[in-house]
Amino acid sequence: MNIKTAILVFANSSKEELLHKPMIGGEKLFTELTKKTLSVVESSGLPFFVFTERKQSGKTFGERFVNAIQSIYDLGFENVITIGNDTPHLKKHHLLESVKQLENNKFVLGPSADGGFYLMGLHKSQFNRSTFLKLPWQSKDLAKSISLLIKTAKIEVALLEVLHDIDTVEDLKIISKLSFAFSNVLRAIIYKITHSSCEISKYVIPIKDTSHHASFYNKGSPLFMA
């Protein structure tokens, strides 16, 4: 076991997740995604800590996330690998590759297709609380901003493959086309949600609204809901 590195699973409970990512059948989905994520994490053999809304502290997403990272360093770990529970294609090899890159003094970033990230790995020397709090959390420029910040500090960034995370039913529809490796349970849940959404949309008249507000998503994934 690598005692220098710990995994931070920063993810809300299923009930809390549903409040921010409303979708029919969502609670079952988030429960299954968390179960799948923890299975992958456990298979890595690395120590890990789960931070749901009960353990998070801070008023904004940035504060909650940054405080969680700091708390892992405070336990004595040198490296932290952060992930959420909304990237079903996350595999054990992504975590082990992150450990390898961290040992080579690199900053690790797993970009998500929406411009955020599904994984971030960093040494405590690369972490500055005040600087990280100023990052554009919950925006499509997050991964780009982090990469620029690290490169400006002359730290090499190791990029993992781009994966899709789940913020909306539309994301789920994209992921459903790549779900052949999922469990039968997860595939069935995804199928039910995406098809229920299609049926409902037939009877919904879209209303244009120029006002927008940001919703809360793990890992800073962006979404603006009308």
pLDDT tens for each residue of 105-126: 999 999 998 888 899 999 999 9
The terminus-to-terminus CA distance of the chain in angstroms comes to 46
Number of helical H runs and strand E runs in the chain: 8, 8
Q: Which CATH architecture has domain 1-226?
A: Alpha-Beta Complex (3.90)
- C-alpha dist (Å) from residue 31 to 13, 53, 90, 134: 8, 15, 16, 31
When the pLDDT of each residue in the chain is averaged and rounded to a whole number, the result is 85
Question: What is the pLDDT, as a whole number, of residue 148?
Answer: 87
pLDDT digits (tens, 9 = 90+) for 183-209: 999 999 999 999 886 544 444 444 444
- Label residue 52 by pLDDT band (50, 70, 90): very high
Give yes or no for residue 222 having a pLDDT over 50.
no
Q: Dihedrals φ, ψ of 163, to 5°?
A: -125, 160
Question: What is the pLDDT, as a whole number, of residue 45?
Answer: 95
HSE (side-chain half, CA atoms, 13 Å) at 185: 9
